[in-house]
Amino acid sequence: MADREDPSAVRWLVGVELTRFRERSGRKIGEAAKVIKCSPGKIGHMESGRNQQQPGEVRDLLRFYGADQADIDRLASLAGSAGEQTWWAPWTDVVPDWLKTFVGLEGLASQSSIYAPLVFPALLQTEGYALGVTAGHLRVRPDHNERTVSLRMERQRRLFVDDRALRLAVMLEEVVLDRPIGGKDVMRGQIEHVLRLVEHENVEVRVLPTAIGAHEGLVGPFTVLDFHEAQSIAYVEQVNGAIYVQDQDQVNGYNRTVDRLREVALSPGETVDVINSRLTT
């Protein structure tokens, strides 16, 4: 979508798939370089997303790798869609390097599936709750708190646009409802906010009751992003960085985990009842 352009994220997505198709075909970087008459270094930069990939070169490489025509057309189209502006440029100074790719990818995604065991995810947070999460956090400088929160609010606009609104599915641990981030009033506002959000058709929140015990998600929080013109990726935050999972078998594993969590979670109606119960206690 036009207001969520991020050329670096597009380059990253194209590069991931160029690498995957080359490795699957058994071709070496030097062989690929000869196809489009360039240096091996350029192929490396194309695969890393450092350089803008030209649609014609993408087509030639994918044909050499034996890709299906549908994949050739899809990736060439994606390469040609990269704009010149990065939508989150006003917040560049508050976005750490490890998060920049994710923010760009989220803006391009068609769907985001999240397992949230600790706090409400950024796309569901109110300003007050977001400030409560970031205040005193070692990852966020004190003078960056408010601007970090404003970026989260801007990211949420994807949920409400008419053109290709982001579909959001959140599997939420029940304990999140009872963790007093920001104080009683902030939590009440946060819970009321989530109740309003789930009224939108593109927003699904399901609570995982603490009483169910062990389940598939206990390995830790994660996000899966799906795209119209690119392969899905999984994203896992760590203490000082993040992992971007690109291998499709591994990504499918995360998707299966989401499906299994949905099976043991409360239904949407039951989830609303449980969330509402926190307003009467």
Q: Over the stretch 238-261, which tens digit does the pLDDT of each residue have?
A: 877 899 999 999 999 999 999 999
Is residue 18 predicted with pLDDT exceeding 60? yes
pTM for the predicted model, two decimal places: 0.89
pLDDT given for residue 174 in this prediction: 97
Is residue 3 predicted with pLDDT exceeding 70? no
Q: Over the stretch 50-82, which tens digit does the pLDDT of each residue have?
A: 988 999 999 999 999 999 999 999 999 999 887
Domains of the chain by start residue, with CATH: 2-80 (1.10.260.40), 91-277 (3.30.870)
Contact 135, 181 (CB under 8 A): no
User: Which residues on adjacent β-strands are paired with residue 225?
Assistant: 112, 233
d(CA 257, CA 93) in angstroms, rounded, equals: 35
Of 87-91, 101-105, 167-171, where does the model show the most confidence?
167-171
Is residue 2 predicted with pLDDT exceeding 50? no
Is residue 119 predicted with pLDDT exceeding 80? yes
pLDDT given for residue 217 in this prediction: 81
pLDDT given for residue 37 in this prediction: 96
The SS3 of residue 30 is: helix
Q: Over the stretch 89-98, which tens digit does the pLDDT of each residue have?
A: 888 888 888 8
Residue 264's identity, in one-letter code, is V
pLDDT given for residue 130 in this prediction: 92
Mean pLDDT of the region 102-109: 93
Is residue 140 predicted with pLDDT exceeding 70? no
The SS3 of residue 50 is: coil
Is residue 138 predicted with pLDDT exceeding 60? no
Task: Count the Cβ atoms, other than its own, within 10 Å of residue 191.
Answer: 18
Q: Over the stretch 202-234, which tens digit does the pLDDT of each residue have?
A: 999 999 999 998 888 888 899 999 999 899 999
pLDDT given for residue 139 in this prediction: 59
Confidence at 1, pLDDT banded by 50, 70, 90: very low
Q: What angle do CA 256, 133, 203 make, to 5 degrees?
A: 40
The rounded mean pLDDT for the chain is 91
d(CA 233, CA 224) in angstroms, rounded, equals: 6
Residue 145's identity, in one-letter code, is N
Mean pLDDT of the region 102-123: 95
Strands (E), the chain: 111-116, 167-173, 203-208, 222-226, 233-238, 241-245
Task: Count the Cβ atoms, other than its own, within 10 Å of residue 79.
Answer: 25
Q: Over the stretch 182-197, which tens digit does the pLDDT of each residue have?
A: 999 999 999 999 999 9
Residues in contact with 73: Cβ distance below 8 Å, sequence separation at least 6, in sequence order: none
